[in-house]
Structure 1
Amino acid sequence: MSVLIKLRDNKNLPEAESQVRDYILKKPNEVIELTSKELGEKTYTSAATVVRLCKRMDIGGFNKLKLLINQEIKYFESKNIEILDSTSIRQTDNIKEIVEKLNTINTQSIEETSILINTETLKEVVQLIKNARILDLYGIGSSHIIALDATFKFTRVGKNAINFALYDRQYVQALNSTPEHFALLFSYSGESKQMIDIAQILKDNFVKTVSITSSSQNSLSKICDYNLYVSNKESKFRSGAISSRTASLHVVDILYTVYCNYDYKNTSNKIHKTRIE
């Protein structure tokens, strides 16, 4: 995962470490030229605070942090990604401004999500989908729409994919699941009580699971066996969960396409066969 995104999305830092984090995000180009002592002075903290932040982020030390930041700055600049971009829809925006802002929000959401994808995790998840006798997909509210899209895609290529709209039926499906099942759980916040309860039931039933959540630390990702993350830059104007929906659908498309690519000829034939004119 990107170290800059990981820093931005950590909402539970002590105040002193939060001050260091904010300075890093605002002035990353300056930070890579500083020592830990100098950064501590500029943030009215200390070198020890800088080191503690690095340890909390599972980074070897401040020099390693600067190296990672330097690499990411170049990538973000090449993709025109603003790590602190706060584009939001305002009441005074005209139609053209709304169109342009939504384009920015969705484009950056997809770009960030692509950065967050761990290819090794992705490979393992796709293999588990391939091996599972039944693929279960769970999601409540707007996340159900994502689960429904994934269900239809995998059903078209011959996978026994199951998704229920009502929570009580999802709950029963989890209770009846066996290790022959594999489950995808969608929850942008990762704090949906329903999804957390279902994840725990699946864990108790020895069913392998993958969560698709925002990149911030969350309860659902701690329960699931695998985690795939989407951008945590949801617009303040959250009509229909705009950027989170776009990012989550992007992850579904990646999973589906990689799955199809493993058996390209067979899945291509099934897609052609199930096409509805």
Structure 2
Amino acid sequence: MNLILKLKNLDKLTTSEKALVDYILDFPEKVIYFSPKELAEHSFVSISTIYRLINKLDLDGLNALKLALVNYLNEDNAEKIIDIDFPISAEDNQYALTKKLKTVYDQTIQSTIDANHVEMMAATITLLNKASFVDVYASSANIYFAQNFQFQMQEIGKRINVPIDDYMQNLSAANSTPDHLAIVVSYEGRGSSAKKILKILKKNNSKILLITSKNSPLLTEEVDSTLLFASMENHYNKISSFSTRMSLMYLFDCLYLAFFNHDYEKNLAYKLEHYQKMNPDLR
């Protein structure tokens, strides 16, 4: 992940660590020349605070931090790291709007990639490949992304169930078996519905893939696999859920591509054959 994005996404910082992060974000061009003592003096923190932060960034030392900053500053096409919640201002013209939205999407996708290790995705794909039945439990606007995933998978012959209202979701969970994979989508996991669904699914020994954010209380639940949203957005105080929506669509598209690629030739042939049946005049 871009170091600046990583600094912005750090949580559970002490007051002094937060002050250091703010200083690095404000003056990266100065930090690259500082010794530990100089950085401590300019940011008004202790040297031990500097190395605690470096550890949280998974860097090997101050030189590694400075190198990462140099790489960031030297990027020819580096986009400005903008406020994900309020990426535009009232003064922006149409060109600025489109460029800033692209930056939001670029940062979101990179953050989503960094939040989900290859091993996590591989374990998830194994669950999807082995499942006889797949149910997706989502709410609000996330349902539309679940339905798009359902459409993609049905095009290659894999049926996906997306129950919409509370009753149908509870009924689907109650009818699930160990042959089912349940994909439970809940960004913050604070509502009672996701917890209730998880409880029913566990009782039926169904396989569970949880898609949630890094601060979600649902992460304490025992599930078979977990994927994480990019956790860059405020849940309420924002213009719109640009980042959350993009992150979820990207995760569903990754699941689809990995499933497709598992038996590429077969899936491609199936899709083309059935399109031909629907549209016999196509060549």
Q: TM-score, normalised by structure 1?
A: 0.78
Structure 1 range deviating more: 34-43 or 18-27 = 34-43
Cα distance, 1:257 vs structure 2: 0.8
- Residues 185 and 212, structure 1, Cα contact 8 Å, conserved in 2: yes
Cα distance, 1:98 vs structure 2: 2.9
- Separation in 1, partners of 2:271, 2:154: 10
Aligned to 2:23: 23
Partner SS state of residue 209, structure 2 = strand
Aligned to 1:266: 266
Q: Encode CA deviations 1:17-61: one digit per residue, 9 max, x unaligned.
A: 222333344445655665555544333232333444456x384xx
- Residues 210 and 228, structure 1, Cα contact 8 Å, conserved in 2: yes
Partner SS state of residue 228, structure 2 = strand
Partner SS state of residue 268, structure 2 = helix
- Residues 131 and 180, structure 2, Cα contact 8 Å, conserved in 1: yes
Cα distance, 1:269 vs structure 2: 2.0
Q: Which letter maps to 2:265?
A: K
Aligned to 2:47: 47
- Residues 137 and 169, structure 2, Cα contact 8 Å, conserved in 1: yes
Does residue 139 (structure 1) correspond to residue 138 (structure 2)? The answer is: yes
Does residue 226 (structure 1) correspond to residue 225 (structure 2)? The answer is: yes
Cα distance, 1:139 vs structure 2: 1.0
- Residues 188 and 215, structure 2, Cα contact 8 Å, conserved in 1: no
Q: Which letter maps to 1:255?
A: L
Aligned to 1:67: 64
After superposition, residues 52-201 of structure 1 pair within 5 angstroms as 52-53=52-53, 57=56, 59=58, 63-64=60-61, 67=64, 70-71=67-68, 74=71, 77=75, 80-83=78-81, 85-86=83-84, 88-201=87-200
Q: Which letter maps to 1:167?
A: D
Partner SS state of residue 60, structure 2 = helix
Cα distance, 1:194 vs structure 2: 2.6
Partner SS state of residue 106, structure 1 = helix
- Separation in 1, partners of 2:149, 2:187: 15
Question: Tell me, which stretches of 5 or more residues in structure 1 are unaligned?
Answer: none
Aligned to 1:250: 250
Distance change (3 Å), C-alpha of 1:125 and 1:49:
same
- Separation in 2, partners of 1:145, 1:21: 37
- Separation in 2, partners of 1:44, 1:148: 51
Aligned to 1:237: 239
Partner SS state of residue 63, structure 1 = coil
RMSD of aligned alpha carbons: 3.4
Number of residue pairs the alignment of both structures matches: 271
Q: Encode CA deviations 1:114-172: one digit per residue, 9 max, x unaligned.
A: 34442221122111100011112111111111111112222222223211111232233
Cα distance, 1:251 vs structure 2: 1.7
Distance change (3 Å), C-alpha of 1:101 and 1:8:
closer
Instruction: Tell which structure's C-alpha radius of gyration is larger.
Output: 2
- Separation in 1, partners of 2:119, 2:31: 31
Partner SS state of residue 90, structure 1 = coil
Q: Which letter maps to 2:215?
A: Q
Partner SS state of residue 164, structure 1 = coil
Structure 1 range deviating more: 22-31 or 155-164 = 22-31
- Residues 136 and 184, structure 1, Cα contact 8 Å, conserved in 2: yes
Q: Encode CA deviations 1:227-247: one digit per residue, 9 max, x unaligned.
A: 323333449310xx2232122
Cα distance, 1:85 vs structure 2: 4.8
- Residues 29 and 70, structure 1, Cα contact 8 Å, conserved in 2: no
- Residues 115 and 228, structure 2, Cα contact 8 Å, conserved in 1: yes
Does residue 210 (structure 1) correspond to residue 205 (structure 2)? The answer is: no
Distance change (3 Å), C-alpha of 1:218 and 1:181:
same
Partner SS state of residue 148, structure 2 = helix
Cα distance, 1:258 vs structure 2: 1.4
Q: TM-score, normalised by structure 2?
A: 0.77
Question: Tell me, which stretches of 5 or more residues in structure 2 are unaligned?
Answer: none
Q: Which letter maps to 1:260?
A: F
- Separation in 2, partners of 1:39, 1:247: 35
What percentage of aligned pairs have identical amino acids? 28
